[in-house]
Structure formats: structure tokens, C-alpha cells
Chains A and B, each alone.
Chain A
């Protein structure tokens, strides 16, 4: 198979992200041409367009980009670390646990005292989920044990989230269950970007630091150790990186599933069996995927406020079934 050279692949994906970013800020209730609003002396656009562009659409697109990148990257790292093609923050219950953490922070009143309590509590939820998974599934666990643990964790976190929201004295809280389980970027603001950005960047940095070790791990545990890879350190980096970045992302967007599953799988054939190369392309691919999903909900059902997780699951769940089928077939051969 003729593969694209790595630098060309990277710059192609970056260009795709840039184009989708521009489309994303142009699309909404009405089409706004970003160039003519941003350039001085432009005609035809008023104060309302400028405000909507800067305060509503740009933060939304920035969040789609950041969160998509986080989910794509953490999917690629988890798949490499667990040597499990089905690993992904949504499926493993990490996103759902982060949602639970966020809900607890909001309804216990912690966020009223300290704004960063929201991302911190969400990443604590994510961290507990990752540690539980490591504990439950062990080191050499088979693919299905991890996935089933993830299913159980997702249900539990979902139930506790509903419980927390139903117990709240706020009559609108129960309506939020859908948001926390399916995710949305509608009407988020710069406040949310500011809250999530530092944590997402920090988490992504930790995840990128696992690159060399993941390459060695693809040869197997023992081979990696003989190559001098510190597995303990890699583990810690991946766990913390996933918890921090996915936790912060979920705190502002709710749980969005399947991005971390689809994107690394689609891009793996383009980079070959080199997990380290998969990381950067998965981050860019995840950003492009989530921007595209967020554009599509505004094009397809502009009045309905369709949740982002609905679109990613509509694409992701059939993909997951197909993947499960092919993994089983490969195991039988």
C-alpha cells in the first residue's frame, strides 16, 4: 500500500481542521462570512453579527477543536497502552465518570465557591475510573474484560449522575441528564474555554510523552522492558494524561463517545504500525471529526439542539460493532 509521507499527512490534517474551523464559525442561525466581519471596513454585518461570532461561535469552535483533539489522542494512547483495539474514554466509562464528577461539583455548590472546582472534580471522576479499570482488568486482561468493566462503569456513573440530578432542589436539574450523558457545545462561552484549556493542554502534554514507550510496547511487554522502557512511568503518564484532559473536556461539554475509537482506527492504516506517529494524527483527526459532527448538527437540525453525542454515537456504534466482529474473527484465525 502506498502511504502518504508523514509530514504531508500531518499538514493535510491540519489544513482540514483549519477549514472546518472556519466553516464552523460561519454556520449557525444565519451564515456569517468570518472574513468580512474580521476585516476592518467590511459592510453588511452589524454589531450583533460581530458579537455572535466572537462570543458564541468562536468559543464553540475552539472547544470542538480542543475536545476532539483530546478524545482522539487519548483513544490512541489507551489503545496502545492497553494493547486493546476497543479502548476509548467513552466506552471505558472515563467520560461518564468525569460527568459524574462535574455534576457533583455543580450541585454540591463547590463551583460557586471556586470556579475551577468543576474541571478538577471532573478529572478526579475520570482518574478514579481509569484507576478502577486498571485494577479491575489487570495487566494482561483480555479485550472483553476491559470493555465489560467499562460498560459497568458507564452504567454506574450514569445512574449516580441521574441520582445526583434528581436529588437536587433545582427543578431544572433533571432536564440536564441528557446533556451530561450525550454532550453538547451549544452556547458555551469563553468562560468554559478558559476553564478547560489549561487542563486539556497539560493532559495532552502528558499523553504525548508516552509516544516512545508506546512504540516499544507494540513489540510486547517483555521486549519493551528489555529496550529500557520504564513501564511504570508510561502507565502513570497515560493515566494522568487521560484523566486530566478527558476530565476537563467533559466538564464543559458532557460525555461525548466514540471519537477516540473511530479516529485512531481510521488513521492507523495511514501511519503503519507506529503508535507514536498515530498520536499527533489522531489528535488532529479527532479535532476534525468533532468539528464536523458539530457542524452537521447545525446544518441538519438547526432548530432542534441535537446533542453532539447523538451524532458521534450514530457513526460510532455501528463502527464499534464492525470492529468487535473483525477483532473476534482475527482472534479465531
Chain B
């Protein structure tokens, strides 16, 4: 019994050994950077597409081509699309798999058991996380120089976006499907703060994404209420709350802001666009008011 099992493993090992050996020699020549990289998470997809050299990244997750979630649909569409299933990923014969720490856990564990090299990324909760994720991606893909250029650009743009922030900081809260609002120490709070506002979730000392009943939201009374463009206009009980008459009466159209959710989901250099878009959206409301 045991012998049979061992021989299966051996067979697998041998069948993989040849390409691995070949790759090892190839990698040694190229400074050991992986050449068949598969990403299985929307956020690592986008980071990898930004950092990788052409041809290095062969597959990204299906969310990378979802127009409601991804900012890089165009870049992703020529690549192979995976659903984050072990079978699919193995067939691609990757020398590096990149995953998020919270998604596709079962697949990641299975891939590791099968001996595939898997790198895991924490979601970015802050701009500092964006920098460290960029650095990590650069090291993994052997593109340190490119990733530090991206980081420098990101920092510069952040600084420029922050410069336009005004002295008076109005309170801005987010309100999404199923009455959820973003808490403090999150990417959302950092974006909102960088754009020159006081973040409602941080002010209320909420931890993580939290349910905020409509009554509490009205009592908290933020100056501006931000909702996500995508999905909010769809039918469904989850987003019905965004059309509640009490919400419309209390905040009215001038205090409600709609932003493009794609830029808020993942911490990438594109996060700067979230800041700029938020500032522009508020500015256009102020113009309407005059």
C-alpha cells in the first residue's frame, strides 16, 4: 500500500523534474526570476500585472476581467483566466502561484501539498501596505527596480493629491449594500483622510466593515455620504437601503456622493485615483450648490 503511494509521488516528481530542471537552469541565467506566474486574487492580479515583465505573468483570476471590480480589464484580457481551482492552476504548470491570504484557502493548501511554490499577500489596509506589497511583488518576480519605480511614482502622486486637501475637514462616511460602512484602520479610511476628509467609521471607532443601522447613520450625521457606483443602482434587497426615503430626505442629492468602487477594492498604485476622484466628486457637488 505504502509502496504504491510512494511510487505515485515518485512518478509525479519525475514528471515534473524535467521542466523544473530546465527552468532552474533558465532561472539561474535570468537571476532566478519565475517565468510562469499564476495569480488567483483580484488584488494580486493587478499588482502582478503592474510589476511583471511581458510574458512573465501567464494567468490571472476571473475577477481581473470583471469590469465592475478590476481597473485593468484591458491588460488582463489577453492572459489565461483562472477560477482559482487547483486543477486549472496545476495544468498551467506554474513556477510561482500568487494568492491572497483570505481567499481560495483550500486551493492554496492543496497546491502547497502538491509542491507548487505559493506566495501569499495580505490585503492592503494602508498606503504603507501598498508599498510593502509592491516591494514584495518586485522581489518575487525579480523586478525590484521596476517595483521601486512604481513605489516612487505612487508616493509622489500621493503627495500631490494631499496638497489639494483643504484645512477644514468635513466628515465623510461610506454607506453600501446591506447598510455596511467602512471602519477605521482600513484602506477606505486612509483614502478618505488623504483626500482631506474626516472618516466617519474612524470617528465612530468602528473596527473593520460594520453594519450601521439607518437610524445610527442619521444621528451620526456625516457632512457627506459616499456610496459605490457599481451595484448600487441594481435591483436587489441588499442595495434597497440606498434608496430609502429617510436617507434621501436627510442627506438630499447634494450631500450624497457616488464613487467608482473599482479603485477602492484593492490597494495598488491606482488607489491615488480613488483620492483624486473623491476630491473631484465633492468639488462638483459644491459647484452645484452655488
A48 to B221, CA, bound (A): 9
Interface size of A by CB at 8 A reads 29
Tell whether A106 pairs with B236 under 8 Å between CB atoms, given A170-B231, A305-B211.
yes
B249 close to chain A: CB less than 8 A: yes
B214 close to chain A: CB less than 8 A: yes
With a cutoff of 8 Å between Cβ atoms, the chain B residues found around residue A173 in the complex are: 236, 238
A190 to B246, CA, bound (A): 10
Would A56 and B246 count as touching, CB distance under 8 A?
yes
Tell whether A170 pairs with B238 under 8 Å between CB atoms, given A186-B213, A191-B245.
yes
A107 to B235, CA, bound (A): 7
Most A CB contacts (10 A, CB to CB) among B178, B214, B236, B239 go to B236
With a cutoff of 8 Å between Cβ atoms, the chain A residues found around residue B213 in the complex are: 29, 186-187, 305
Interface string of B227-251 (1 = CB under 8 A from A): 0000100111111010011100110
Closest B residue to A180 by beta carbon equals B237
| Smallest CB separation, A220 vs chain B (Å) | 45
Would B250 and A172 count as touching, CB distance under 8 A?
no
A266 close to chain B: CB less than 8 A: no
Would B245 and A189 count as touching, CB distance under 8 A?
yes
B30 close to chain A: CB less than 8 A: no
8 A Cβ contacts from A2-54 to B? 28-30, 48, 51-52
Would A187 and B238 count as touching, CB distance under 8 A?
no
With a cutoff of 8 Å between Cβ atoms, the chain B residues found around residue A109 in the complex are: 235
A111 to B211, CA, bound (A): 26
A176 to B179, CA, bound (A): 12
B15 close to chain A: CB less than 8 A: no
Tell whether A56 pairs with B214 under 8 Å between CB atoms, given A30-B219, A51-B246, A51-B250.
yes
Interface string of A152-176 (1 = CB under 8 A from B): 0000000000000000101111011
Would B214 and A106 count as touching, CB distance under 8 A?
no
A215 close to chain B: CB less than 8 A: no
With a cutoff of 8 Å between Cβ atoms, the chain B residues found around residue A107 in the complex are: 235-236
8 A Cβ contacts from B212-232 to A? 213-216, 218-219, 221, 231
With a cutoff of 8 Å between Cβ atoms, the chain B residues found around residue A172 in the complex are: 177-178, 231, 236, 238-239
With a cutoff of 8 Å between Cβ atoms, the chain A residues found around residue B246 in the complex are: 51-52, 55-56, 189
| Smallest CB separation, B139 vs chain A (Å) | 32
Partner of B250, one of A48, A170, A179, A305: A48
A48 to B249, CA, bound (A): 10
Would A112 and B218 count as touching, CB distance under 8 A?
no
Closest A residue to B233 by beta carbon equals A112
A89 to B225, CA, bound (A): 41
A175 to B246, CA, bound (A): 23
Tell whether A171 pairs with B245 under 8 Å between CB atoms, given A51-B218, A176-B238, A187-B213.
no
Partner of A106, one of B235, B244, B245: B235
| Smallest CB separation, B13 vs chain A (Å) | 39
A48 to B217, CA, bound (A): 10
A170 to B178, CA, bound (A): 13
With a cutoff of 8 Å between Cβ atoms, the chain A residues found around residue B221 in the complex are: 48
Partner of B219, one of A48, A106, A176, A179: A48
With a cutoff of 8 Å between Cβ atoms, the chain A residues found around residue B237 in the complex are: 106, 176, 179-180
| Smallest CB separation, B255 vs chain A (Å) | 14
**A interface list, Cβ under 8 A from B:** 28-30, 48, 51-52, 55-56, 106-107, 109, 111-112, 168, 170-173, 175-176, 179-180, 186-187, 189-191, 303, 305
**B interface list, Cβ under 8 A from A:** 177-179, 211, 213-216, 218-219, 221, 231, 234-239, 241, 244-246, 249-250
Pick 22 A–B contacts, CB within 8 A, sort by A: A29-B215, A29-B216, A48-B219, A48-B250, A51-B246, A51-B249, A52-B215, A56-B246, A106-B235, A112-B235, A170-B231, A170-B238, A172-B177, A172-B236, A175-B177, A180-B237, A187-B213, A187-B241, A187-B244, A189-B244, A190-B245, A303-B211
The 3 lowest CB-CB distance pairs between A and B, nearest first, are: A172-B238, A55-B246, A172-B177
Told that A106-B237, A189-B245, A303-B211 touch, could you supply 11 new A-B pairs with CB distance under 8 A? A29-B215, A48-B250, A56-B214, A56-B215, A111-B235, A172-B239, A175-B178, A175-B238, A180-B237, A187-B244, A189-B246
